[in-house]
Structure formats: C-alpha cells, structure tokens
A = this chain, B = another copy of it.
Amino acid sequence: MGGRRSGIGESQIVETLRAHPLFRGVPLEDLMELIRAGTWRTWPAGHFLFLEGDSAEGLYVLLEGYVKVIQTDAAGQEAVVQMAGPGEPLGLIALFADQPYPASAQTMAPCRTLWIPGAVFREFLLQHPAVALRILHLLAERLHEAHRRLLEVSVLRVERRLARVLVRLAGRLGRRTAEGIELALPLSREELAELCGTRLHTVSRLLNRWQRAGWVRLGRRRIVLRQPHALVALAEELEGPRGLGS
C-alpha cells in the first residue's frame, strides 16, 4: 500500500504536534521521543492506511488531509463509519481493544500522517494520564456520535438521513461560495450512500429531486448547498411514525 517516508525535517512535525490539543502541556522532550519512535509519511489520495483485519502495530495521527473509515461485511457491503480530518488519531480501537483493525482507512485526499508504535504510545499514556483523559474524551464523543447515527439509521427515512449527512458535512467541511456552501472534499454518490446507510441510486434520486427544487447544485463528485435552510428544515422536522407529509 502506497506511502513513502518523507524527507521533510522534523521541525514541522514538532510544531504540528505541539499545537495539537491532544498534547497540550506535554514537555517538548517527551514529544520528541514519540516523534523519534514514530514515522512520518505522506500519502496520495485513494490509498489505504490500513485494511480491516490487518494486525495493528500502532496508531496513526492524521496531520493533514481527510480519511474515510470503512467497515465491510462478509458479503462486501460497506458503511462509512467515520470521516476523519486533520488532527484525528486513527486506529484507536485496534490499539486499545488490542485486536486487528476493525475497519479500513482510506485517504480521500493527499495526507500526512505520523505513525506511532502501539507500545510506545501506551507507555506514553501511562506517563501522561492527562493525555489519556483527552483520548477518553475523544472516544466518548465518537461513541456518542455512533449511537446517534445508530438511532438515525434505525428510525429515520433515507431522505432525512441524507439531509442530515449533508448538513453535517457542510458544517465540518463546507466552503462558502457565491452560490452557497460547497462540500470541500469530493464525495461520490456511492460514498454518500455509505454514509447514510443506503444505495447510490437512492442518493442520486434524492439529490436530483433537490436540485430541481433549487436546493442544491450537483456535479461530478461535487455538491453545493444553495439553500441550506431547506435541508436543515427537512433534517430537523418532527416525524412520528407515519410522517406529517412533505
């Protein structure tokens, strides 16, 4: 799988890590130890940091770029379990649950990562319990998010789920343009489908319906929200069993 050790000096990594909220307050020399034990890499878009089932020897910290984390079932059906952006650690589950990677991580854009051997990182956490608490914070939030999505997939219709996914993505990765909010990273219809637990056809149909209504503008791997409020309304609207009609 792609990725080369890069020649760029350490100073840049050091600065990135020092600025990282996870490592706030950690003495510089302890950080240096982490960095020296680890490996810095760059990745082109579309490559896999790791595959579901790979044995996990360490942790990735995504310094730059975007990665999607995918879970696959026995028959090859996929669900996007997480969209990770700059600063996020990847491979936490494998590291702490002490098992092979439970999902695959694929770069969506050119990325830079720092890889840290698991044993080193665990030792580091024992020395820096405050950082452990921050990771607990992070995992707790991810768990919360997963529960929320579980509820949504169990209870909401696709239309509403898709609206929510778009609104959330726009919030996290939206770029303001003259026309509206444009999603900064290019997602295919299929990836969108995997994000909301449906099929690309259904996504395509819904998006085009919304385009006809003037709510969005579509392109190849490109979506602009022209009337975000409409989508928000759709996303939040109350819906008991048997909706209130649209």
Interface, chain A (partner B; CB < 8 A): 71-79, 81, 92-93, 95-99, 102-103, 122, 125-127, 129-130, 132-133, 135-137, 139-144, 146-156, 194, 197-198, 236, 238-241
With both beta carbons as reference points, the residue of chain B lying nearest to A103 in the complex is identified as: B147
Given known contacts A74-B238, A132-B129, A144 and B93 CB-to-CB distance under 8 angstroms: yes
CB distance from A140 to the nearest CB of B (A): 4
CB distance from A42 to the nearest CB of B (A): 27
Is the pair A154, B153 in contact by a Cβ cutoff of 8 Å? Answer: yes
With both beta carbons as reference points, the residue of chain B lying nearest to A148 in the complex is identified as: B71
CA distance A153 to B197 in the complex (A): 8
Is the pair B139, A102 in contact by a Cβ cutoff of 8 Å? Answer: no
For the residues of A in contact with B, the DSSP-based class is: helix
Given known contacts A129-B132, A133-B126, A146-B147, A77 and B140 CB-to-CB distance under 8 angstroms: no
Is the pair A75, B197 in contact by a Cβ cutoff of 8 Å? Answer: no
CA distance A107 to B136 in the complex (A): 26
Is the pair B133, A96 in contact by a Cβ cutoff of 8 Å? Answer: yes
CA distance A142 to B151 in the complex (A): 15
Tell me which residues across on chain B come within 8 A of A146, comparing CB atoms: 143, 146-147, 150
Between A and B, 17 residue pairs with Cβ closer than 8 Å are A71-B150, A73-B155, A74-B238, A75-B240, A77-B154, A77-B155, A78-B151, A79-B150, A92-B140, A92-B143, A93-B143, A96-B139, A102-B148, A129-B132, A132-B133, A135-B136, A143-B143
Tell me which residues across on chain B come within 8 A of A136, comparing CB atoms: 96, 125, 132, 135-136, 139
Is the pair B135, A125 in contact by a Cβ cutoff of 8 Å? Answer: no
Is the pair B140, A95 in contact by a Cβ cutoff of 8 Å? Answer: yes
Tell me which residues across on chain B come within 8 A of A97, comparing CB atoms: 137, 140-141, 144
Q: Of residues A122, A140, A241, which shows the largest number of chain B Cβ atoms within 10 Å of its Cβ?
A: A140
CA distance A127 to B130 in the complex (A): 10
Is the pair A75, B132 in contact by a Cβ cutoff of 8 Å? Answer: no
With both beta carbons as reference points, the residue of chain B lying nearest to A145 in the complex is identified as: B146
With both beta carbons as reference points, the residue of chain B lying nearest to A82 in the complex is identified as: B147
Q: Of residues A74, A81, A139, A241, which shows the largest number of chain B Cβ atoms within 10 Å of its Cβ?
A: A139
